[in-house]
Amino acid sequence: MSWVLLFKALHIFFMVAWFAGIFYLPRLFVYHAETAEAAVSEQFKIMERRLLYFVTPFAILTIVFGLLVIMIYGRDWFRFSLWLHVKFVFVILLYVYHGYCFKLLKDFKENRNKRSSRFYRIFNELPVLLLLAIVLLAVMKPVIAI
């Protein structure tokens, strides 16, 4: 069995599972920001918390299996794969985005949300753009000169 193929498959699987949540959570924030009913707001708080805590292990496993693939390919491959360095910048931005979702979750939990549903609609599009850039880099592996 090829460990690198297994690790790649698991990396992709956990990334897809993570993104399912990352795409849906801000949509919940949109609806939460639009509601004025206390009971509905409390229900959103539960849904948001459960979703974020459900997908966080997927985010962790995504990076674990991605790093395992890099380790198998080796240091020289990593050093010369500059496309991967650019991909890492976008991946780091995704983890910052994920972390910021915890802050937004806390704001909603404490009824301190000051942002509009429009903000969350735009916020919802950011991971889509990052995912597009990451997939293009991973598939095309462009030659990047320094």
Tens of each residue's pLDDT in the chain, 146 residues: 799 999 999 999 999 999 999 999 999 999 999 999 999 999 999 999 999 999 999 999 999 999 999 999 999 999 999 999 999 999 999 999 999 999 999 999 999 999 999 999 999 999 999 999 999 999 999 998 77
Residue 77 located in a structural domain: yes
Q: Which amino acid is at 32?
A: H
Residue 146 located in a structural domain: no
For position 146, what pLDDT does the model report? 74
For position 1, what pLDDT does the model report? 75
Residue 78: count of CB within 10 angstroms of its CB: 14
Structurally, the chain folds into a number of domains equal to 1
Nearest alpha-carbon partner for 34 in 116, 125, 121: 116
Residue 63 located in a structural domain: yes
Residue 110 located in a structural domain: yes
Domain that holds residue 40: 3-140
Residue 120 located in a structural domain: yes
Q: What is the pTM of this model?
A: 0.94
100 and 144 Cβ atoms separated by less than 8 Å: no
For position 145, what pLDDT does the model report? 76
Q: Return d(Cα 125, Cα 34) in angstroms, integer.
A: 18
CA-CA distances (angstroms) from residue 57 to 21, 24, 38, 98, 104? 11, 16, 30, 12, 19
